[in-house]
Amino acid sequence: MSANLSYELSLQEQPINRKTKFKKLVRKLAGQKYLQAMALLGVAWMIIFNYIPMYGVIIAFKEFNIVQSISDAPWVGLEHFREFLDDDELKSVIWNTIGMSFFKLLIGFPLPIVFALFLNELRSIRLKKAVQTISYLPHFLSWVILGGILTTWLADVGIVNKMLMALGFIHEPISYLAEPSYFWSIIITSDIWKELGWSAIIYLAAIAGVSPEMYEAATIDGAGRFQKMWFVTLPSIAGTITILFILAVSGLLNSNFDQIFVLKNSLNESTSNVIDVYVYQTGIISSRFSYSAAVGLFKSVIALILLLIANSVSRKLNDTSLF
């Protein structure tokens, strides 16, 4: 009898609790109306420019041309995907894309973490701000500007050749951008140069959230500065590192089109032809819109699979994941 009574009371309390929670939510949203309005603009932008255009993905399964609408284009199924997988350029395109992205991940991902750790150890505020400003600056310059700078520096009469010849490392100028063997190194190094300081910002923010009491306890235990970095700071920002690593793995097939397009030429094409450049050449230059959409969709599906794998592995290893 008492069990039935308690069950009936719980049923009566549920609508009251729901109404109370709803009223609290309404009051909370009303108190944040300006913030919510700003957020809604971002949501509207994302829907308009990210989700609505996804309708156009269906041209990957059609033979679309510019003189007819998407709905009028005839269906061809998986024909464009088969054509891409049978393309003679597929092997070199995939190799270049994965190769450059892998070394960017291997070298470029841990460097901002190390940079943030050492930057956090600087005691001089002026020196810290100067280093931050210098390291952030390249991020705000477009690849068009930086590409022009690199092209000048790496030319036969550029500063790089002059310095290496003056130091005796080489005896004659080298056309670095004309040599395919140097292209990957140039891309990886220039990408790190441009994004090192900017990528370290989120790690610096995470480090700022570490409790000072943990450092005080480590000091009492006799830990030095490097031991604090290794045993206190790094474990405290491990969650941030994991999330960013998952996102980096999912973007393994993104090879920074702007950077490569500015620095590539006909002489280094064997090592500079990546998926994004291939899509541009087939879709825009050759006007094969359906084919390039199929290649882009193929890349997006692989990126999704990589994201799910990295997320699953991370969740099993250290209970940290995106979802």
Q: How many other CB atoms sit within 10 Å of the CB of residue 93? A: 20
Asked if 112 and 199 count as a contact pair (C-beta separation under 8 A), the reply is: yes
CA distance 271 to 28: 55
Quick check: 226 pLDDT over 90?
no
> Sign of dihedral through CA atoms 152, 172, 265, 195?
negative
Per-residue pLDDT reduced to its tens digit, 15-60: 557 777 888 888 888 888 888 888 898 899 999 998 898 888 899 9
Whether 206 contacts 237, CB under 8 Å: yes
- Domains (ranges, CATH) in the chain? 78-318 (1.10.3720.10)
Per-residue pLDDT, 9: 44
Q: What share of the chain is helix, strand, coil (3-state, %, to 5)?
A: 75, 0, 20
State how far the Cα of 232 lies from the Cα of 245, in Å rounded to an integer.
Answer: 20
139 or 66, higher pLDDT: 139
The pLDDT score that the predictor gives to residue 7 is: 47
Q: From the CB of residue 294, how many other CB atoms can be counted at a distance below 10 Å?
A: 27
CA distance 312 to 306: 10
| Three-state DSSP state, 104 | helix
What is the overall mean pLDDT for the chain?
87
The neighbour count for residue 243, using CB atoms within 10 Å, is 16
Structure-block tokens of residue 277: 């450049």
Q: Which two tokens mark 192?
A: 């790190």
**Per-residue pLDDT reduced to its tens digit, 153-173:** 999 888 999 999 998 888 899
At residue 69 the predicted structure's pLDDT band, cuts being 50, 70 and 90, is confident
Contact 197, 139 (CB under 8 A): yes
Q: Over the stretch 188-214, which tens digit does the pLDDT of each residue have?
A: 999 999 999 999 999 999 998 888 888
Model confidence pLDDT, tens digit, residues 282-316: 888 888 899 999 999 999 899 999 989 988 988 88
Q: Are the C-beta atoms of 184 and 101 separated by less than 8 Å?
A: no
Sign of CA dihedral 315, 107, 113, 144: negative
- For residue 111, count CB atoms less than 10 angstroms from its CB and return exposed for 0-12, middle for 13-18, buried for 19 or more: middle
Distance CA 289, CA 279 (A): 9
